[in-house]
Amino acid sequence: MSIRPLDGITVVSLEHAIAAPFCTRQLADLGARVIKVERPGAGDFARAYDERVNGMSSHFTWVNRSKESITLDLKQAGALEALKTLLKTADVLVQNLAPGAAARMGLTAELLHKTNPMLILCDISGYGNNGPYRDKKAYDLLIQSEAGFLSVTGTEETPSKAGNSIADIAAGMYAYTNILAALLQRGKTGKGSTIDVSMLESLGEWMSYPLYYAYDGASPPPRNGASHATIYPYGPFKTGDGGTVMLGLQNDREWALFCEVVLENPSLAQDERFDKNFKRNEKREALLTIIDDCFSKLSTEQVIAKLDQAQIANARLNDMSGLWKHEQLKARNRWVQVGSPAGPIPAMLPPGMNDSFDYRMDEIPAVGQHTDNILTEIGLSVTEIQAMRAQGAI
């Protein structure tokens, strides 16, 4: 087996929901040992979001493969002490508990670095570890709203959220990359560090285009459903067989090709109503009528063929069934099987194909599956483990 980038790195995570688990799953993909601390009994509450994957939650299935699960009731002294023992030799601690919860348990950089100065601590929260919003509850939809995402997404009448947990994903990605950077930094300094990742700042970074578009009090991008806010034609268009094709024109050269090859009306390219993008954007309704008249006589496949011939960027409006069966993913062998408490399930390989190693794609753990083994590793006896179980500490 090839050596993975994070082989030998141990990550302990006090995690739930999406942001922190998404971060740590990616660390596990690269070979890190991720020890997921869960509550005795039910475990991570995301396990109970739904039962769509052979009885397992779709959210939990997505972000928790290749991890070890240990159950600890951190309100009990013995369980908290076991966690602190585990952290003495860990490389990374990730947590997205309620604001202040980790500090109240003594899980601060000041205290943990006394016994493990090389430990990297990563806190993921809605608004960060200081400031007037520090203690506000933060769920994905609420951060989408605070970050202005809803103000530029949807239709003119209806602001709309993203169809997945985009604020959690953004925070998880920045936690992941910050931890990788901290590991590199530790290699230079020999010392650990602390990382403070905010969902608001993560999604705020992704909002920088509309932010600058509305610079100095200018009007923000309008909400245009699935169409581009300022470029036209750029978005979804119906075809004659009831399908929908997405297409995007970037410049006047492509507009001329679109008129000639796709619409079969080359003179339209010189029409003064449409000869510049800003004019096409202003005259959307008139141009849509022309495009609809053409596309209504063609099937989805015929429209795509014409767009490909003209080298106009395009895509099908796929649904989840279409993504499961996508021929490009199949051709690139992006699906593998991973184990789970409900048996083998398909999983998509992480983005990025590296020819020097294979991603770790191990099973999704049951609640507390690895508790006894991990506690034994840190020196607890069978009798001590049994006593903790009897007390409900594990």
Q: Which neighbouring-strand residues pair with 198?
A: 125
User: What own/partner pairs with CB < 8 Å and gap ≥ 24 does 105-112 have?
Assistant: 105/74, 105/80, 106/80, 107/14, 107/83, 109/192, 109/194, 112/84, 112/87
DSSP letter at 136 equals S
**Calpha distance 260→254 (Å, rounded):** 10
**Calpha distance 222→225 (Å, rounded):** 9
Bridge pairing between strands 92-95 and 67-71: unpaired
**Calpha distance 90→24 (Å, rounded):** 14
Please tell me the predicted confidence (pLDDT) of residue 228: 86
Domain boundaries, the chain: 10-207+336-390, 234-316
**Calpha distance 93→169 (Å, rounded):** 19
DSSP assignment string, 194-221: EEEEEHHHHHHHHTHHHHHHTGGGPPPP
* pLDDT tens figures, 219-246: 998 898 888 888 999 999 999 999 999 9
CATH fit for domain 10-207+336-390, picks 3.40.1210.10, 1.20.1260.10, 3.40.640.10, 3.40.50.10540: 3.40.50.10540
The amino acid at residue 99 is P
**Calpha distance 160→377 (Å, rounded):** 49
Please tell me the predicted confidence (pLDDT) of residue 1: 62
Mean pLDDT across the stretch 10-21?
97
**Calpha distance 170→176 (Å, rounded):** 10
Query: Angle, nearest 10°, between helix axes 19-29 and 166-189?
Result: 50
Q: Which two tokens stand for residue 145?
A: 């709203």
Q: CB of 113 within 8 A of CB of 30?
A: no
Mean pLDDT across the stretch 60-87?
97
Q: Which two tokens stand for residue 360?
A: 């770790």
**Share above pLDDT 90 across residues of the chain, in percent, rounded to a whole number:** 95
Please tell me the predicted confidence (pLDDT) of residue 31: 98
**Calpha distance 106→93 (Å, rounded):** 13
- CATH class for the domain made up of 234-316: alpha beta
User: Where in the chain does DSSP place strands (E)?
Assistant: 10-14, 33-38, 67-71, 92-95, 120-125, 194-198, 234-238, 244-248, 313-316, 335-338, 345-348
Say what the pTM is.
0.92
Does the fold of domain 234-316 match that of domain 10-207+336-390?
A: no
Residue 387 neighbours by CB distance under 10 Å: 14
Mean pLDDT across the stretch 237-257?
95
Mean pLDDT across the stretch 269-280?
94
